Chain A
Amino acid sequence: MSEPSASPGSRDRIARQIILPWSKSLEITIKNLRVRFFRSLITVSSLVLAVSFLAFVLVNTDIARGILAAGGDEAVRILTRAGFEIDTATGTIVTGAKERWVVILSLVVCTVGIVNAQLMSVTERFREIGIMKCLGALDRIILRLFLMEAAIQGGAGALAGALLGLLFSLLQNFFRFGTIALTALPPLEVALSLTLAVITGCFLSVLGVLYPAALAARMKPVDVMKSEY
């Protein structure tokens, strides 16, 4: 008997034969998020806090810039008293190194938190992933499902965080400087800061799921046959 093993040329054809359309991926992702809503909430909570802190710091700086632009010498006095560093030569607000480090640190801690939470979530779903692979799912389909889930979580969490940060920043500055904090608010810069915060949040969420998702995608389907899980 000859050995008609699959020819190398058939590889592309076969790769294209196993698919999961985007609409179906999205449907499965949303279903997963809905069913594990509480779990997603915990995964996302550290991201919400870190992004809100980032947005808070950015918007604070924007407001201080606005006051500085509107107020002249008087503004320099109240801003300095409030703890802002002002470069007197150029007349701009300087972001302190310490502040920068605290923000970066909080983002790093948040990413580690996401990796941890997603590892748990992958472990919980080992069986489900194994079943999908037994049914013919490719590594990249599993990877895509996890990345999409993380992107949606990241988007929602980062948006919530950015709005929370904005709210706190507005409240704090209103009580510290009075109405000038709101009237001198530069809308374009604030919008830019919030966008930056949301993008950072999405990026970190996807970054945090990369390793857990790769772990899930590489899982061997034979493992699901063991009934210990």
Chain B
Amino acid sequence: MNTSHSIVRVVGVTRAFRMGKIDVQALKGVDLTIEAGEYLSIMGPSGSGKSTLFNMIGGLDKPTTGKVFIDEVDISQLDAYELAWLRNRKIGYIFQTFNLIPVMSALENVTLPMIFSGMASDTASDKGIELLKLVGLGDRFQHKPPELSGGQQQRVAIARALANDPAIILADEPTGNLDSSTGEEIITLLQMLSRERQVTIISATHDYKMLNVSDRVVWIRDGRIDKIEDREELSISVGTISEKGN
């Protein structure tokens, strides 16, 4: 990591949710800096605050205290229009359940964010086809999501996430609904994108296969960062995990 440009900065973030009459602290003070072009995985058991942190980084949720900077812009200062703009241009989302719009074809799904950004219909179509080719679905752009397999749907979702050349791709359990070999294909695709297109990829995951390709892994426990591991340290711990698995 020789670039000093940080794409996401999380500074002293806490987040409290009100459940009935008690306040639940989902995050209890998190500091994290994510460099541009990095492939970062956020790991942690469910209920650890992982999803909350993840939503915060994605501009989908605002911190109770503390600040989240995306590309050096404090998201708590943004209004609804600016947040929509941020979601449209700066961030691409990939979900566990693919979340394509079922009534639209693969190509229409991919072009929708470009249409929102004001791109002309023809240009958007051309770029959509190009992106679908990039993810290996060049011949299937007229198919509707229900006619595609899980892996293919996730590829469409990845193409859609890339639509407006975002700086960040947020992937929430991208392999969670896929079988092991399809999951691996998706991970390889994400890795390729992070290397070739210099996109920052941030993923929340339970999948240990994701760790092999990550530059860094952030472990969350009880609303705090438990530890941050670089790739070098990681290969050792992943080794032990896979040994345990076998």
Asked if A18 and B112 sit within 8 Å, CB to CB, the answer is no
Asked if A17 and B96 sit within 8 Å, CB to CB, the answer is no
Asked if A4 and B73 sit within 8 Å, CB to CB, the answer is yes
B148 at the interface (CB under 8 A from A): no
Asked if A14 and B85 sit within 8 Å, CB to CB, the answer is yes
Interface residues of A in 123-171 (CB under 8 A from B): 127-128, 130-139, 141
Interface residues of B in 223-243 (CB under 8 A from A): none
Asked if A135 and B113 sit within 8 Å, CB to CB, the answer is yes
On chain A, the residues within 8 Å of B113 by CB distance are 135-136
On chain B, the residues within 8 Å of A24 by CB distance are 115, 121
Q: CA A5 – CA B78 in complex, angstroms?
A: 8
A6-B78, A133-B84, A133-B87 known; A18 vs B117 contact (CB < 8 Å): yes
Interface residues of A in 32-47 (CB under 8 A from B): 32, 35
Asked if A11 and B79 sit within 8 Å, CB to CB, the answer is yes
Known: A18-B117, A135-B112. 6 other contacts (CB 8 A): A6-B77, A15-B81, A18-B88, A35-B103, A130-B99, A131-B100
On chain A, the residues within 8 Å of B89 by CB distance are 136
CB distance from B85 to the nearest CB of A (A): 5
CB distance from B120 to the nearest CB of A (A): 9
Asked if A21 and B112 sit within 8 Å, CB to CB, the answer is no
Question: Can you sample 20 A-B contacts with CB below 8 Å?
Answer: A3-B72, A5-B74, A5-B77, A15-B81, A17-B88, A19-B116, A20-B116, A24-B121, A133-B87, A134-B60, A134-B87, A134-B93, A135-B116, A136-B88, A136-B89, A137-B84, A138-B80, A139-B80, A225-B55, A227-B96
B155 at the interface (CB under 8 A from A): no
Chain B residues at the A interface, C-beta cutoff of 8 Å:
51, 55, 60-61, 69, 72-74, 77-82, 84-85, 87-89, 93, 95-97, 99-104, 112-113, 115-118, 121, 160, 172
- A127's closest neighbor in chain B, by CB? B99
A-B pairs, 4 with minimum CB distance: A136-B88, A222-B60, A5-B77, A135-B113
CB distance from A30 to the nearest CB of B (A): 11
Asked if A128 and B116 sit within 8 Å, CB to CB, the answer is no
Residue among B82, B87, B93, B101 making CB contact with A6, cutoff 8 Å: B82
Asked if A18 and B81 sit within 8 Å, CB to CB, the answer is yes
A180 at the interface (CB under 8 A from B): no
On chain B, the residues within 8 Å of A137 by CB distance are 84, 116
On chain B, the residues within 8 Å of A31 by CB distance are 103-104
A14-B85, A134-B60, A139-B80 known; A20 vs B115 contact (CB < 8 Å): yes
On chain A, the residues within 8 Å of B116 by CB distance are 18-20, 135-137, 141
A89 at the interface (CB under 8 A from B): no
Asked if B103 and A136 sit within 8 Å, CB to CB, the answer is no
A224 at the interface (CB under 8 A from B): yes
A32-B103, A136-B116 known; A11 vs B81 contact (CB < 8 Å): yes
Q: CA A17 – CA B119 in complex, angstroms?
A: 10
Asked if A1 and B72 sit within 8 Å, CB to CB, the answer is yes
Asked if A136 and B84 sit within 8 Å, CB to CB, the answer is yes
Asked if B97 and A227 sit within 8 Å, CB to CB, the answer is yes
- B99's closest neighbor in chain A, by CB? A131
Asked if A136 and B117 sit within 8 Å, CB to CB, the answer is yes
Asked if B55 and A222 sit within 8 Å, CB to CB, the answer is yes
Asked if B88 and A135 sit within 8 Å, CB to CB, the answer is yes
A186 at the interface (CB under 8 A from B): no
On chain A, the residues within 8 Å of B73 by CB distance are 4-6
Asked if A17 and B101 sit within 8 Å, CB to CB, the answer is no
Q: CA A4 – CA B96 in complex, angstroms?
A: 33
On chain B, the residues within 8 Å of A127 by CB distance are 99
On chain B, the residues within 8 Å of A128 by CB distance are 101-103
CB distance from A20 to the nearest CB of B (A): 6
On chain B, the residues within 8 Å of A141 by CB distance are 116
Residue among B55, B85, B97, B172 making CB contact with A17, cutoff 8 Å: B85
Q: CA A136 – CA B58 in complex, angstroms?
A: 12
CB distance from A219 to the nearest CB of B (A): 12
On chain B, the residues within 8 Å of A222 by CB distance are 55, 60-61
Q: CA A104 – CA B95 in complex, angstroms?
A: 48
Residue among B72, B84, B115 making CB contact with A4, cutoff 8 Å: B72
